Structure 1
């Protein structure tokens, strides 16, 4: 492998990781805006919760 091909593969991997990280967040934020999910920030992490589903599961457990 040449240095150029190594750099190209590193850039491709970086783009792939960024896409995999940011795309679900964007989708989840849209679901929050529509009212399907609620967002709760705990420390540095964000949790997206489907409250009606949680209530249904707790009612039937």
Structure 2
């Protein structure tokens, strides 16, 4: 499970912003805009990912 999560994060980070948002929207089961709560969750996910990379000295 953890490996899948890591692979998904790597894949999302390599996508252009528009494609990433579209994929996240579809994954969350929505075709429209991302809600404020979801935006906050996505930002937290991304900031946690960046913090992990910094701690691992990969950034």
TM-score (norm 2): 0.39
Q: Higher Cα Rg: structure 1 or 2?
A: 1
Structure having the larger proportion of residues in strand: 1
Structure having the larger proportion of residues in helix: 2
TM-score (norm 1): 0.37
